[in-house]
Structure 1
Amino acid sequence: MDSSNTWIQSFIYLFLVSASVHFLHTLLISPKLTVNHQNARVKRVAQAPLRFRSDGTFKILQVADMHFGNGKLTRCRDVLESEYNYCSDMNTTRFLEKMIQLEKPDFVAFTGDNIFGSSATDAAESLFQAFGPVIKSGIPWAAVLGNHDQESTMTREELMSFISLMDFSLSRTFPSVEDNSNSNKQNPVTNIDGFGNYNLRVWGAPGSNFANSSVLNLYFLDSGDRATVDGVRTYDWIKESQLDWLRHVSEKVQEQKLDINESPPISPHSTTTPSLAFFHIPIPEIRQGPLYSVVGHYREYVACSLVNTGVLNTLVSMGDVKAVFIGHDHKNDFCGNLGGIWFCYGGGFGYHGYGLAGWSRRSRVILAELGKGEQSWGGVKRIKTWKRLDDETLSKIDEQILWERESW
């Protein structure tokens, strides 16, 4: 009798164990191992190409130095004592949401230190949170890396590859060139320093003579992170291979003027294609100066590399770059002119990045405006910029014209 009871109890025990394992596998494990073709999706792609609006404008929101950590768990730095207890990365998220709602940009450019690697325990999760508001909005966006992004769980190449695969991102790990045998095929250029060197073209207004031509070019460059020169620690710099690539792209941009000239011109001044550049670490020439016509605050020493590779000379010789937008120095938010090119800081955006207590976080807006011909929109006539503060009214400050055609 006892042996019979023991056998029955053993059978019941084994049955319950088997049933429990089957239950757990069915509800928890199997769904993770099985591809659900109904729920599977590919990257949501931004509407291409980038294009001016029908009102002749194209607006860019620059976000510099978000320094995103782990969301709600990451405390703010350099805020008033009264703000500290309820301040976290979520303040950065709310600021980005408010800027998108107010300015309604056509494109968002993130200029590095998007996440603060040493505070981000999972780089991928931090990136999803940092870029979350712009992804939710469906606005096309692109990013370059700063000197802190790679300090978490991904290398710089892995970061740029991951960012390029995110929804509505136009970022690229490597630049690309057309395959001569197939104009629709793009081949990556991997023999170039850094990760995140690429250019984006913005087409003319719909229905205009330039609807199928780019009238504004956007360059993105990887300015690196840190380096050692003759035993001295310094910030990294833009390398000669990147400048060679930049010159090549610029030549292609200028060649397009010939194509535009072949179509009926709206005005004799509508055929030049201006360009803007975006990268993180300022170049030594900004520190060396002299800077002219400074608009905004020059509050801290320009932190740049000890190595000067002649970036300014390259940009000046190219002729198409009208303004450069950088980050890195959070308490600088000025625009200054060097060699006829404007260099503009975005100003510290993120609340986990260093700043100045009582000094509002800020963001920069860039607006390109087309010239109006007799019957249609033409090429870019004017490029303006201003900043918004993260205060009660999102105050607009320091509006200025960066570039305008001498005549139209």
Structure 2
Amino acid sequence: MERVSSSSSSLASLLLLLAFVAFSGEASPPSGSERPVLRFTGKRGEFKILQIADMHYADGQKTKCEDVLPEEVPNCSDLNTTAFIYRVFEAEKPDLVVFTGDNIFGPDATDAAKSMDAAFAPAIALKVPWAAVLGNHDQQSTLSREGLMQHIVRMAYSLSSINPEGLQIDGFGNYNLEVAGVEGSGLANKSVLNLYFLDSGDYSTVPDIDGYGWIKVSQQMWFKKVSSHLQKLYRSKPEPQKELAPGLVYFHIPLPELSSFIESNMTGVKQEPISSASVNSGFFTTMLEAGDVKAVFTGHDHVNDFCGELTGIHLCYAGGFGYHAYGKAGWSRRARVVSAYLEKTPSGSWGGVRSIKTWKRLDDKHLTTIDTETLWEKGNEVGGRRRKRITRGH
């Protein structure tokens, strides 16, 4: 299938072989999988995150694709999803990969643990640190949501956590990660970029409320406490900072606020309704009050891939990644990339985060880059945003 090849059939064959080995369990986990420290690199002053949403992985080669062109149907399976991961890893070389839910499609996965092993295998094989949250379909197989997260946190190179230790909190998979400044710089021992991960649930458990789950009060209280603590650390000695360290938030089910965007206020496309919870639990307001969040990244609605800004916070879809997931025939599967860049201090060393950009990679012949835009620049938090749409490179 041309969609998963780059310039030659030999590369496509190699990618599909890697995918088959990943699912069959013939590749042993690599050694040296101790928990790495996330840090900006001194060479580029950059930290790059690859978001993969809605893989919908099931049983590998047995699991056929949905919503692809007729000529692609015969040879298309979960293995095409794996091949796309390898391609985009090679192209972007991310510092962290974030899987934002519906990692497996429970109804078609005969063994949840085996399906997850296959879904996350490329990150492990390439020794890339990764983190995951759950969607609304992950738990519909042979493991509960708690069981899924227990499995995920034990996997090699996973930075995921089930929940903060000692806290009673809704859901499974509420945690944060800190990205330190450049080694040897004044901010080497501080988090200059804060990442928050939350379990947005699956379906409503309230009898009189239909639809999807939402981020509960206990989760919002945890988020506010962590955000406040990190801000105090960032502003403390040594090297006290005047501004807040920027934060990025990842979960699966989109917020109701995404429905407020109109076409002129977004980059990307909206091709289906916003499938948020039918109630608004107030998490957007909670993030506004915290003051550090610059962007939120979700999945769930596979053929939406837009970003829009509301009161200084960007709300962004990744767009559907997996081939065993509904999509749109002829509309390429895609991944979202977010890259943060440090500023230089007057002395010439690396300081805090200067700007945050995003773009998307398409699973087409050229791994086309589209919709590059600046999400945030220091000193320019609201308004004055620069946007640039491109179709090749960035």
Q: Secondary structure at the match of 1:227?
A: coil
Residue 350 of structure 2 aligns with an amino acid whose one-letter code is W
Q: Greater CA radius of gyration, 1 or 2? A: 1
**Is 1:318 aligned to 2:290, yes or no?**
yes
Residue 110 of structure 2 aligns with an amino acid whose one-letter code is T
Q: Give the percent of matched residue pairs that are identical in Structure 1 and Structure 2.
A: 53
Q: Distance in 2 between matches of 1:294 and 1:155?
A: 36
The structure 2 residue matched to 1:244, chosen from 218, 221, 225, is: 221
Deviations 1:357-388 (A, max 9, x none): 01000000000000011231000000000000
Structure 1 residue 108 displacement after superposition: 0.2
Q: Distance in 2 between matches of 1:386 and 1:392?
A: 17
Residues 105, 137 of structure 2: 8 Å contact kept = yes
Residue 293 of structure 1 aligns with an amino acid whose one-letter code is N
Residues 46, 139 of structure 1: 8 Å contact kept = no
**Is 1:195 aligned to 2:183, yes or no?**
no
Q: Distance in 2 between matches of 1:41 and 1:397?
A: 34
Residues 65, 76 of structure 2: 8 Å contact kept = yes
Task: Give me the TM-score of the superposition, normalised by structure 1.
Answer: 0.83
Deviations 1:213-233 (A, max 9, x none): 110000000000011545453
Where do 1:346-357 residues align within 5 Å? 346-357=318-329
Task: Give me the TM-score of the superposition, normalised by structure 2.
Answer: 0.86
Residue 220 of structure 1 aligns with an amino acid whose one-letter code is F
Where do 1:117-156 residues align within 5 Å? 117-156=106-145
Residues 253, 299 of structure 2: 8 Å contact kept = yes
Q: Distance in 2 between matches of 1:274 and 1:361?
A: 29
Q: Distance in 2 between matches of 1:99 and 1:397?
A: 14
Structure 1 residue 286 displacement after superposition: 1.5
Residues 215, 274 of structure 1: 8 Å contact kept = yes
Structure 1 residue 263 displacement after superposition: 2.9
Residue 122 of structure 1 aligns with an amino acid whose one-letter code is D
Residues 30, 124 of structure 2: 8 Å contact kept = no
The structure 2 residue matched to 1:383, chosen from 356, 360, 364, is: 356
Q: Distance in 2 between matches of 1:135 and 1:201?
A: 21
Q: Classify 1:73/1:308 alpha carbon distance in 2 versus 1 (closer, same or farther; 3 Å).
A: same
The structure 2 residue matched to 1:92, chosen from 72, 81, 85, is: 81
**Is 1:365 aligned to 2:337, yes or no?**
yes
Q: 1:18 maps to which residue?
A: none
Structure 1 residue 334 displacement after superposition: 0.3
Q: Classify 1:131/1:264 alpha carbon distance in 2 versus 1 (closer, same or farther; 3 Å).
A: closer
Residues 272, 379 of structure 1: 8 Å contact kept = no
More strand, by proportion: 1
Q: Secondary structure at the match of 1:386?
A: strand
Structure 1 residue 46 displacement after superposition: 3.4
Structure 1 residue 264 displacement after superposition: 4.5
Q: 1:275 maps to which residue?
A: 247
Q: 2:279 maps to which residue?
A: 307
Structure 1 residue 189 displacement after superposition: 3.2
Q: Distance in 2 between matches of 1:213 and 1:278?
A: 21
Residues 292, 338 of structure 1: 8 Å contact kept = no
The structure 1 residue matched to 2:184, chosen from 204, 207, 218, is: 207
Q: How many pairs does the alignment contain?
A: 352
Residues 382, 401 of structure 1: 8 Å contact kept = yes
Residue 91 of structure 1 aligns with an amino acid whose one-letter code is N
Q: Distance in 2 between matches of 1:127 and 1:363?
A: 19
Tell me which stretches of 4 or more aligned residues in structure 1 moved more than 4 Å. 39-43, 288-292
Gaps of 5+ in 2: 1-27, 381-394
Residue 142 of structure 1 aligns with an amino acid whose one-letter code is A
Residue 224 of structure 1 aligns with an amino acid whose one-letter code is G
**Is 1:51 aligned to 2:24, yes or no?**
no
Q: Classify 1:161/1:91 alpha carbon distance in 2 versus 1 (closer, same or farther; 3 Å).
A: same
Q: 1:296 maps to which residue?
A: 268
Structure 1 residue 308 displacement after superposition: 0.9
Q: Classify 1:43/1:189 alpha carbon distance in 2 versus 1 (closer, same or farther; 3 Å).
A: farther
Q: 1:254 maps to which residue?
A: 231
Q: 1:334 maps to which residue?
A: 306
Q: Classify 1:41/1:349 alpha carbon distance in 2 versus 1 (closer, same or farther; 3 Å).
A: closer
Q: Secondary structure at the match of 2:342?
A: strand
Residue 311 of structure 1 aligns with an amino acid whose one-letter code is F
Q: Distance in 1 between matches of 2:264 and 2:180?
A: 32
Residues 290, 338 of structure 1: 8 Å contact kept = no
Residues 131, 159 of structure 2: 8 Å contact kept = yes
Gaps of 5+ in 1: 1-38, 176-187
Where do 1:49-128 residues align within 5 Å? 49-54=37-42, 55-128=44-117
Q: Distance in 2 between matches of 1:340 and 1:291?
A: 18
